[in-house]
Amino acid sequence: MMLLQQYQRPELVCPAGTPAALRTAVDAGADAVYCGLQNETNARNFPGLNFTVAEVEQSLGYAHARQARLLLAVNTFPPAGKFQMWKDAIDAAARLKVDAVIVADMGVAEYAARTYPNLRLHLSVQAGASSPEAIRFYCESFGIKRVVLPRMLTVAEISELHRQIPCEIEAFIFGNIGMMAEGRCYLSNYATGQSTNMDGVCSPAADVHYEEDAQRNLTTRLGEFVVDRFSGGESAGYPTICKGRYFCGARSDAYYAFEEPVSLNLSALLPEMMRAGVTALKIEGRQRSRAYVKSVVGAFRKAVNDIMAGREAAFASLLALTEGRRETEGAFPSKKWR
């Protein structure tokens, strides 16, 4: 039996790319759901995803009726001359009384804190704040109540950080692992002219192209750049530059120069994360299906409940829902994950 006093019950924060996915997440046991508006103010600005202001209002009612919270992601960086769109998003969030707004840009954070001092602010992983000094700056300057940590810290580092900062900690536990430098990725922008950080689009669909030859070998391109090639029958993921294979230098074989297609899964580390002082456990995947949301949220809901009840958490395999059907604990156990 586990010692219950070792833990405080963490909030399970789950993705919602559409109103239907939000309802699925809430019904599967989410304590909180996070979503974005249908524009550049959020970092998952893809066609067919995200919410109108009216849909946020309706979804807020659905969540609150089931004791769940709604967090609105306004977590990209306004280009010069376009700040009004981000102000409008903050205005809407305050008017609807969402439970928190997830911000990254200091100007957006300042506008929200000055204009709506009672609006709860969380610091997005896009801000890339990973040191006590940086996090304390955001807390003292803008009243940040929670920081979403980058996916590059060990559990021991998170525990030490917890002792030095005056806000809650949210950490990713499942989903895309990315380049480990949130808010600083310019690869897609170089290839397509659209920025993950400002436009909310990584590998925009209009720039993705697939070419199949007579042997059914598949070439994937992002804009004019070849990102990867797959032999007939080989599983091909969504083409992003960071997870493509390339010939580099003197190497004669194509290899994953930046990041391999693999998903984060910290199910085995949940007790350690909770002991380290993590307030909220975050599942990534606003662009994923309702089936993904239901399966992953349900699995982690049960695991957290088991741990809080003093039982060992027994996980069904989530490997089929991972990228490339591979999973990793990333940097969390140690820095040596590759």
Q: Which domains does the chain have, with CATH numbers?
A: 4-177+262-328 (3.20.20.70), 187-256 (no CATH)
pLDDT at residue 25 is higher than 60? yes
Q: How far apart are CA 206 and CA 148, in angstroms?
A: 30
> Which tops the pLDDT comparison, 257 or 167?
167
What value does the CA radius of gyration of the chain take, rounded to a whole number of Å? 20
What is the percent of the chain where pLDDT is above 70? 96
Query: What is the pLDDT at residue 338?
Result: 54
Tens digits of residue pLDDT in 45-62:
999 999 999 999 999 999
pTM over 0.85? The answer is yes
